[in-house]
């Protein structure tokens, strides 16, 4: 039986429109660890790669070490893992293990959150919007079209094409 990474590579290689090269971009020392994490999140959750990549790019500009302070005093770590919810994420999306928001593992949490939200909302635009507003907020206020469009735009960019930059 193939390992999770090998299976993710096989799935990507066989699923149009993605090629292995496009999904697992090369860095100077091998595969890009962020793209490998995105592939693994896809293999586990089935969430489209471009949505996982887009959320990560939108939330942290592909820099997992980035933090952002919010007006309510909380901090978004890495790919938008809010400090207020880290304990909840650990229990709901990480088998009770503490989540390191700056680790590659946090990309898997993004995929798990999107998968759970998609099960609740059954619509990808609503799912993407719910990453920002939560399922309840999306049901109450509708789709944050600007956020969804940015996530989709960033999700189809090659790494380094200004993904996550503020304009």
Q: What is the pLDDT along the chain (167 residues), one digit of tens a residue?
A: 445 554 444 444 434 333 333 444 444 456 788 888 899 999 999 999 999 999 998 888 767 778 888 888 888 887 778 877 878 887 888 888 888 888 888 899 999 999 999 999 999 999 999 999 999 999 999 999 999 999 999 998 865 555 444 44
pLDDT attached to residue 99: 82
Burial 93-106 (b: 16+ CB within 10 A, else e): bbeeeebbbbebbb
């Amino acid at each position: 039986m193939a390992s999770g990474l090998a299976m993710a590579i096989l799935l990507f290689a066989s699923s149009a429109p993605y090629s292995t090269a496009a999904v697992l971009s090369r860095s100077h020392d091998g595969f890009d660890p962020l793209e490998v994490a995105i592939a693994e999140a896809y293999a586990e959750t089935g969430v489209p790669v471009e949505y996982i990549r887009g959320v990560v790019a939108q939330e942290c500009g592909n820099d997992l070490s980035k933090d952002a302070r919010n007006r309510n005093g909380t901090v978004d770590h890495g790919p938008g893992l809010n400090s207020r919810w880290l304990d909840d994420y650990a229990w709901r999306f990480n088998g009770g293990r503490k989540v390191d928001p700056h680790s590659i593992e946090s990309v898997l949490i993004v995929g798990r959150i999107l998968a759970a939200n998609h099960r609740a909302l059954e619509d990808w635009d609503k799912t993407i919007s719910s990453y920002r507003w939560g399922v309840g907020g999306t049901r109450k206020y509708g789709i944050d079209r600007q956020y969804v469009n940015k996530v989709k735009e960033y999700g189809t960019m090659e790494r380094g094409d200004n993904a996550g930059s503020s304009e």
